Amino acid sequence: MPESWRPAEANASSQPAAGTSGPSAQSPGNDAKGRAAGETPGAAEAAATRVPFHKLFAFADSTDVALMLLGALGAVANGAAMPFMTVLFGNLIDAFGGALSIHDVVNRVSMVSLDFVYLAIASAVASFVQVTCWMITGERQAARIRNLYLKTILRQEIAFFDKYTSTGEVVGRMSGDTVLIQDAMGEKGWLLTLVMMATIPPLVVAGAVMSNVVTKMASLGQAAYAESSVVVEQTIGSIRTVASFTGEKRAVEKYNKSLKSAYKSSVREGLATGLGMGTVMLLLFCGYSLGIWSGAKLILEKGYTGAKVMNVIFAVLTGSLALGQASPSMKAFAGGQAAAYKMFETINRAPEIDAYSTTGRKLEDIRGEIEFRDVHFSYPTRPDEPIFRGFSLAIPSGTTIALVGQSGSGKSTVISLIERFYDPQLGDVLIDGVNLKEFQLRWIRSKIGLVSQEPVLFAASIKENIAYGKASATDQEVRAAAELANAAKFIDKMPQGFDTSVGEHGTQLSGGQKQRIAIARAILKDPRILLLDEATSALDAESERIVQEALDRVMSNRTTVIVAHRLSTVRNADTIAVIHQGTLVEKGPHNELLRDPEGAYSQLIKLQEANQQNNRKGDGNARLGKQMSMNKSASRRLSRDNSSHHSFSVPFGMPLGIEIQDGSSNKLCDEMPQEVPLSRLASLNKPEIPVLVLGSIASVISGVIFPIFAILLSNVIKAFYEPPHLLRRDSQFWASMFLVFGAVYFLSLPVSSYLFSIAGCRLIRRIRLMTFEKVVNMEVEWFDHPENSSGAIGARLSADAAKVRGLVGDALQLVVQNSSTLVAGLVIAFVSNWELSLIILALIPLIGLNGWIQMKFIQGFSADSKMMYEEASQVANDAVSSIRTVASFSAEEKVMDLYKKKCEGPLRTGIRTGIISGIGFGVSFFLLFGVYAASFYAGARLVEDRKTTFPKVFRVFLALAMAAIGVSQSSTLTSDSSKAKSAASSIFAIVDRKSRIDPSEDAGVTAETLRGNIEFQHVSFRYPTRPDVQIFRDLCLTIHAGKTVALVGESGSGKSTAISLLQRFYDPDVGHILLDGVDIRKFQLRWLRQQMGLVSQEPALFNDTIRANIAYGKDGQATESEIVSAAQLANAHKFISSALQVSFSNLIASRDSLSMQSARHQNLLLSEVPTWEKKCRDMTQWLESVELSCQEGRSSAWPSPVRS
């Protein structure tokens, strides 16, 4: 085996060091590159960084500043309510413990109770202001960060996308990381104020250490899940390739592998949080112990009263409760800081080629003269593999030049340099004698029109896609451009005409239809320079002729650069330039170059002619009639229904977003997701029952400690009014008890946090994996709907699955802990005095009722917001995955306007949620302090009636106060839990749906041998999303085993639909498709697809090694010799082991990357097929977009005889 093919050497030689090349050494995303190349340590080191907390607010505007100031004032006032409450407690203690008459005690307590009412009103107003302001500003700033992040991404040079980021990562960060940032600076912000007002330096140190550790763990988890997002985007974006090669299981395994590292980081994050909070609470308990001991000493030696000492102890106690309540918030701060680091670094990154730059020259117009002057260039991802070494080429204004040559020679690179997707390392690219770098980028790109080899359309209407060429285009201009590109005819036959949606990446249109829309888009731009990169490659002969005539008219008086392989296209060019290995070897008109029979151009022409002769000698049109066995009536039907000009004009695909008014559309996702019961989530956690039981025990131990404080503190209060000798003895005893409970809490809390993190993270991983597995096994039709695009599904798996943790993990831990606090508090209270307990208990449910109403409001808002954010995510997904098209048409602002428009609804919903939450929290605090006032007044009356004593009043109050605070803590989870329930409904709507064509099912027959006879029997078919358009009507066709049948017809006539039906992407409405006489629906689906090999017009390769992509054709289990053999058979062996230092271990970049030319993609796709021994091969215009020098090799790549 050649040395260059060995994994170890190849890996070492082919991976350039991060930062050694490319646009910027300090570019963010080095971690992304490291991850892609398998450099996990580098990724971890880069990711484990955070921004300072105050930097989270770096993008606040004046309104946000005002909201934050107002919210901070409210938070300060609300935070001050707790220390002020301790003063009132001191007054109560003096009233009860002083030498006053019963009547005077009642009067004093009544006055203090009235003060509690005033405090309740002030706290309600303050909490409303703080929560509402912080949530609104959090929502506003998160929206602004999303916008800035996408805007910055769109302004980056193309090399940034080649090296540092991917579509899946961008969507994952926009839908997931911004949620974490918003969580850190939104409604959780007020808790920080409470904490900071009640802490002491050792607590600050402990909290800082915990925050650092948790941030590091959170950052590692986010970096790990960014890998998972890439898997999701690539799998769903190429779902037809995945389905055809039965790659569902491999996709799930790859996704599961990427989730493992995220799971480990999250569990470590939970343990770090538990240890940190345990340490903080231990320090607090030590503070209680010290306070009791020193307080007793001050009473004995300095004449302090018990009330003064208890004021200090109560202040510390309220601080500790705030700290306990802030535990999830501390994690939110840490997660937000970690998430913000990568996003903020990207936002602050200055691109080397800035799409938004307003500097540079703008001329009145350009003539269109182009010159390459001694250009040296290599792609940033492969700096050691030069494409051009001193390349020079002059293109006069108004002329047409055709670039021809072998795959990888640099033809498409010429177009990329003219578009200024990249800058040469040396030399100059000039337009009208001016260096391209001197022009304002947006202006010069407005003078250039590009039609690429693989047309890129966006998930929008046909009209919007064409209008990309001109921002202010009228409907008449759009139609004129479509007519000129021969697209108006098929568009008019669409149900909604120009308003028909084309689907994600235009997948609902045929290749020819997409190409004509792309040509219309370029025509509408009316450019001075026209770049045609295989612009007519996907069209049938008749459409190509018509479009070529249109292009000839458009090209007049324009400078046109053509990359093409068809002789008809090349012959008409004014000049033909032959490029070989980055060097211009020949240049001249067609006839002149043919005079040299040994010249490079003549050799290329001979290759094409030889290929055409081989095609005619093979199973061509002359034998087509013999291969088709039909009865006469079927022939008449075929001729009438499928071969007429009218039939040829029927569009191929199904536009997305079409609403059928008669209600018979059978839309898959029209039902609202049902609410998921908690019992179902709990059932998914069954494997973790032992972990949950142990975690619950630890949480119960942590929870009962605070109600036990009621006993301890009531005895401490009593001791402070005892004689000196008893005070000295009892104070030492109770001080030591606080140390004991502090140690218990220190041990139980980390155990609880760690175990619940394990259970919660396993559940989230299980839900993500279960959902993704369900998604990849859906029928292809399901992905035709816009709500099931790769961006929308990626957002669900990233954000929704993470939100579900609001019902488990940390949240469940807090629920168990608070429940034990509640039960223990009730028991202690009722044992102490049942009458007072009943009075207080009757008032507590009001707090719970308020929380329930608040949750219902938020839950409804959350569902609406989630759906709208999915639509916005798809806009970002389309733009980033098609960044070259966006850049070429200077459509960055158009994308941003659309994204902002999609985000307006969620922003309004978020503001409403903030107001509802503020009202809810305000009422909660009013009720809490109101309960305090009523409790002490009732206690005083009971003492007056001699039904209890004042130590028991405090014991009941403190026990129920702890219980009430537990309920209040749980109510702070209302927002999180309502979002989690909405997210769970969204997730389980996918999980519960049954796939109509499920490749995971084992049901169905298989055959030991398969001959390959194919028969369409009276097949009628309409696409489910467009039932009013007939594609096939009573189609009958027989294809004999071992024969080659060519399906010909105009673009959109249904040729590719036949392939889709054979692959069972769809099932016919009427009739049968037989394979060896058996209806294909009776076969096991995976087995059936394994008998076929599909090579599509647009090759879909995955972000993996060349070896893995070739082995994809055999469940990834192909041996090295099989891989090499398949590569040789597909003529891919030469470039894999070429001087370009490409090897089987090289990574293939994402869909829109130019790291590998399309012909090479096609080579690799072909090599996937021979790794399986196929009985049937489906080729959908697979040779259309291949250069002259490559076609013969591909045509001869198949072993003889060619199978059907």
Q: What is the mean pLDDT of residues 383-402?
A: 90
pLDDT digits (tens, 9 = 90+) for 1170-1192: 444 555 655 555 444 444 444 44
**Of 239, 242, 160, which is closest to residue 1109 (Cα–Cα)?**
242
Task: State whether 769 and 639 are in the same domain.
Answer: no
DSSP string, 172-218: HIIIIIHHHHHHHHTTTHHHHHHHHTT--HHHHHHHHHHHHHHHHHH
Residue 1106 lies in a domain: yes
Token representation of residue 673: 């997701």
Q: What is the mean pLDDT of residues 265-293?
A: 82
pLDDT band with cut points at 50, 70 and 90 for residue 428:
very high
Domain end call among 563, 598, 624: 624
1056 phi and psi angles, rounded to 5 deg: -70, -25
Q: Roughly what angle, to the nearest 10 degrees, separates helices 689-720 and 724-776?
A: 160
Task: State whether 930 and 1038 are in the same domain.
Answer: no
Q: Phi-psi category of 657—alpha, beta or left, where left has phi over 0 and alpha has psi -120 to 50?
A: left
Count of CA atoms in the C-beta half-sphere (13 A) of 23: 23
- Better pLDDT: 983 or 734: 734
**Of 706, 960, 966, which is closest to residue 833 (Cα–Cα)?**
960
pLDDT digits (tens, 9 = 90+) for 753-765: 899 989 888 888 8
Is the N-terminal amide bond of 1170 cis, ω within 30° of 0? Answer: no
C-alpha–C-alpha distance, residues 577 and 589, integer Å: 9
Task: Please name the residue that has the structure tokens 């009776």.
Answer: 1082
Q: What is the mean pLDDT of residues 631-653?
A: 34
703 within 8 A of 963, measured Cβ to Cβ: no
Residue 29 lies in a domain: no
pLDDT band with cut points at 50, 70 and 90 for residue 947:
confident
268 within 8 A of 260, measured Cβ to Cβ: no
Task: Please name the residue that has the structure tokens 């997931």.
Answer: 176
- Better pLDDT: 87 or 396: 396
pLDDT band with cut points at 50, 70 and 90 for residue 261:
confident
| pLDDT above 80 for 938 | yes
Task: Please name the residue that has the structure tokens 């080729």.
Answer: 1179
Token representation of residue 245: 């090669």
| pLDDT above 80 for 1037 | yes
Question: Mean of the per-residue pLDDT values for the chain?
Answer: 74
Task: State whether 691 and 814 are in the same domain.
Answer: yes
Long-range contacts formed by 319-323: CB under 8 A, 24+ apart: 319/82, 319/195, 319/197, 319/198, 319/199, 319/284, 320/198, 320/281, 320/284, 321/706, 321/965, 322/82, 322/191, 322/194, 322/195, 322/198, 323/195, 323/198, 323/199, 323/203, 323/277, 323/280, 323/281, 323/284
Largest CA distance in the chain: 125
Residue 849's identity, in one-letter code, is L
pLDDT digits (tens, 9 = 90+) for 679-696: 787 788 888 889 989 999
CA geometry: angle at 1037 spanning 1034 and 1040, to 5°? Answer: 160
pLDDT band with cut points at 50, 70 and 90 for residue 429:
very high
| Span between the terminal Cα atoms of the chain, in Å | 33
Task: State whether 980 and 1013 are in the same domain.
Answer: no
Residue 875 lies in a domain: yes
Question: Could you give the number of structural domains in the chain?
Answer: 3
C-alpha–C-alpha distance, residues 1105 and 1117, integer Å: 14
DSSP string, 377-444: E--TT-TTS-SEEEEEEEE-TT-EEEEE-STTSSHHHHHHHHTTSS--SEEEEEETTEEGGGB-HHHH
Q: Which of 291-295, 784-788, 1013-1017 has the highest mean pLDDT?
A: 1013-1017
The H or E element containing residue 751 is helix 724-776
pLDDT of residue 1172: 46
- Better pLDDT: 722 or 3: 722
Task: State whether 901 and 1006 are in the same domain.
Answer: no
Task: State whether 974 and 1092 are in the same domain.
Answer: no
Q: Which of 741-745, 912-916, 953-957, 1094-1098 has the highest mean pLDDT?
A: 741-745
Task: State whether 250 and 323 are in the same domain.
Answer: yes
pLDDT of residue 103: 78
pLDDT digits (tens, 9 = 90+) for 362-383: 888 888 999 999 999 998 888 8
Token representation of residue 1130: 């597909």
532 within 8 A of 452, measured Cβ to Cβ: no
Q: What is the mean pLDDT of residues 408-418?
A: 88
| pLDDT above 60 for 17 | no
The H or E element containing residue 953 is helix 950-971
Task: State whether 316 and 377 are in the same domain.
Answer: no
Which residue range is the domain that position 1018 belongs to? 625-661+999-1195
Residue 6 lies in a domain: no
Token representation of residue 958: 């403190």
**Per-state percent for the chain, helix, strand, coil, to nearest 5:** 65, 10, 30
Domain end call among 991, 1026, 1058: 991
C-alpha–C-alpha distance, residues 1185 and 433, integer Å: 33
Task: State whether 530 and 585 are in the same domain.
Answer: yes
| pLDDT above 90 for 418 | yes
| pLDDT above 50 for 1071 | yes
Pair type for strands 1070-1075 and 1014-1021? antiparallel
Q: Which residues pair with 489 in a beta bridge?
A: none
C-alpha–C-alpha distance, residues 953 and 829, integer Å: 9
C-alpha–C-alpha distance, residues 372 and 388, integer Å: 11
Which string of b and e fits 98-128 if b means at least 16 CB within 10 Å?
eeeeeeebbebbbebbebbbebbebbbbbbb
Token representation of residue 6: 């060995």
Which string of b and e fits 139-155 if b means at least 16 CB within 10 Å?
bbbbbbbbbbbbbbbbb
Which string of b and e fits 35-54 if b means at least 16 CB within 10 Å?
bbbebbebbbebbbebbebe
Residue 9 lies in a domain: no
**Of 992, 675, 678, which is closest to residue 863 (Cα–Cα)?**
675
pLDDT band with cut points at 50, 70 and 90 for residue 391:
very high
Task: State whether 1053 and 953 are in the same domain.
Answer: no
| pLDDT above 50 for 46 | no
| pLDDT above 50 for 47 | no
CA-based radius of gyration for the chain: 36
Residue 954 lies in a domain: yes
Task: State whether 567 and 638 are in the same domain.
Answer: no
Domain end call among 952, 975, 991: 991
Q: In this structure, what DSSP letter does residue 501 have?
A: B
Q: Which of 201-215, 1021-1035, 1167-1181 has the highest mean pLDDT?
A: 1021-1035
The CATH number for 1101's domain is: 3.40.50.300
Q: What is the mean pLDDT of residues 429-436?
A: 93
Q: What is the mean pLDDT of residues 1021-1033?
A: 80
1005 phi and psi angles, rounded to 5 deg: -90, 160
C-alpha–C-alpha distance, residues 536 and 176, integer Å: 41
Q: How far is CA 301 from CA 243, 294, 722, 965, in A?
A: 84, 10, 14, 36
The CATH number for 713's domain is: 1.20.1560.10
Residue 93 lies in a domain: yes
Q: Roughly what angle, to the nearest 10 degrees, separates helices 689-720 and 62-97?
A: 50
pLDDT band with cut points at 50, 70 and 90 for residue 1016:
very high
pLDDT band with cut points at 50, 70 and 90 for residue 320:
low
Residue 382 lies in a domain: yes
407 within 8 A of 1159, measured Cβ to Cβ: yes
Q: How far is CA 579 from CA 395, 399, 600, 790, in A?
A: 14, 18, 9, 38
pLDDT digits (tens, 9 = 90+) for 157-204: 888 877 766 555 555 555 555 555 555 555 444 333 343 344 345 555
Long-range contacts formed by 696-701: CB under 8 A, 24+ apart: 696/816, 698/748, 698/749, 698/751, 698/752, 698/755, 699/748, 699/752, 699/756, 699/813, 699/816, 699/817, 699/820, 700/816, 700/817, 700/820, 701/744, 701/748, 701/752
| Residue 169 Cα to chain centre, angstroms | 6
Task: State whether 231 and 202 are in the same domain.
Answer: yes
pLDDT band with cut points at 50, 70 and 90 for residue 1115:
low
The H or E element containing residue 704 is helix 689-720
| pLDDT above 90 for 965 | no
